[in-house]
Structure 1
Amino acid sequence: MTWNEKISDFENFLKFERNFSDNTLDAYLRDIRKLRDYAEFELENTGPFQITYENIQEYLFQLSKKKFSERSQARWISSIKSFFKYLVEDEVRTDNPTTLLEGPKLGLYLPDTLSFEDVNRIIKVINTDTDLGRRNHCMIEVLYGCGLRVSELIDLKISNINFKESYLKVEGKGDKSRFVPMATFTSTLIKDYIREIRSKYKINKRCEDILFLNSRGSAMSRVIVFIIIKELTEKAGINKKISPHTFRHSFATHLLQNGADLRYIQEMLGHSSITTTEIYTHLKNEELRDVILNYHPRNKVKEVE
């Protein structure tokens, strides 16, 4: 069996048995294909059943010299270990050459967030006199007001919006659905967008139920959403690396800061594990530390001589 055959089998395993999202699936397959290319061109067509621990270790060492981030390196190792674990479980390889591989030690990753003032600054620079501006305003309010991933935003269906009960049905990672409440403000914006902006489009038949459309009446792409947010952030003069996910982080952080229970935040974000959601408690702890250092009287008085 060749690399391509086993990669195809691995893809089906991740997609249908592990329910990987499209983005995670693409990342894993991309990592394995890079290893395949290395084995074919640098190791004289060494196959997936012959490659050794030393071969893989040298491959990762060569990659590490290219100054990729530790987070990228950790993902490569995770992808490769998953692939060879699959081959062993599928009984097409008796040994696992990745057993001894260790990823780089990662520090705590605290995502960038926006203050409520920053969110408003971004919204204020949107030209809502145009149809595209009205759409973009609505998109950002849904990202921030409902904590959606960008993939969930562009796939959001009108039929999954319950205006009467004020919630969205969101189809998230691994085909898992969740229900997210909408604020009245967000609900009104969506209604106005559908009635006054979206109704003007000549809509592609395949996109008749998709909420956010481009000017051609088709579904929007992830890339376009990233570009829109990048341009608005620069226009607002915010010197942070902002992405659609930043609004999701801000949604969770602001809920926690205002007293929401972590379990409810977990449900609204669609995290399968509370451990993932707990990252936001670290953000809150950082904020508390700054408050103590800046405002506690013991940090303001001079030493008594």
Structure 2
Amino acid sequence: MAQQIRPHFWVVVLRIEFGKVDTAWEKYGLVEARINYNDKPSPYKAIIKDGKLVAILGADYRLIPNEVVVDIGNKVAEEVGAKPFKVRYARTNYLLNKAETRVYANYILPRGFDIEGKDRVYVGFSLNNSIDGTMAFGASGFTFRSVCANGVFMGYKEIAHFYRKHTKKFEVDFEAVKEAVLKVLEQTRKAIDAYRKMVRVELNEEIAEAIAKSTLPRKLLPDYIETEKDRLVRFDPSKTLWDVYNSITEKLWHDARMDIDTKYRYYQVLHSVIPVVKA
């Protein structure tokens, strides 16, 4: 007689709750709560903003409020001779994504650079940060073209060691941030030479095909680069790289419906096709 096999069932009880709460950034509506698992601390913590869960991250994650980043950016800008830069559709010099978890605080230097008599370009920087762990605190280069009033984000340098211990708390190391910004500005100034060279380089089939195959939305492409899906149909070789670059960045910059996160990503796509400075 065959032995009857009876199924076995296990009941697993999981008890997850908040443990120790860090209120160091409470004045910005932010608290960090350690997550306990079956009465024991787990290697995770919750980031809570205005009573709503923002993210669950590793317990070692260093939170810095976006408001603090803007404040530091203002102070660094003053030290390096830059001014807060406000886009025409924004009320402030900093932009938030739709979820209001990421910030891009923008600053510009007063000196403009002539681009072969075609334009005048200003150099600056942007401090970037997130409170949900999706973007590390860092600085990126920023240029602004005066003729069509459009800006460009380029490069990115993570500010890895921005915390220093102060008594029993941690605070942001201003000098570390300033040093990172100075390096980014030095790198971004090299874009001026690249821009000047682009004025003298004609659009070729290789670059036109790379643009056609890229993930740039078709609405951003100039009408002299005609595509069918991701296939190049036609391009105008009389145009220069400067023409192409500015046509795309102008449409991208002035698209008020496009989220800043999306714009930032497309600038990176563009610079993978038309390199300006090393990331």
Bin for the TM-score computed over the shorter chain: under 0.3
Q: TM-score, normalised by structure 2?
A: 0.28
- Of structures 1 and 2, the one scoring higher in RCO (CA 8 A, sep 6+) is 1
- Between Structure 1 and Structure 2, the one with more helix by share is 1
Q: TM-score, normalised by structure 1?
A: 0.26
- Between Structure 1 and Structure 2, the one with more strand by share is 2
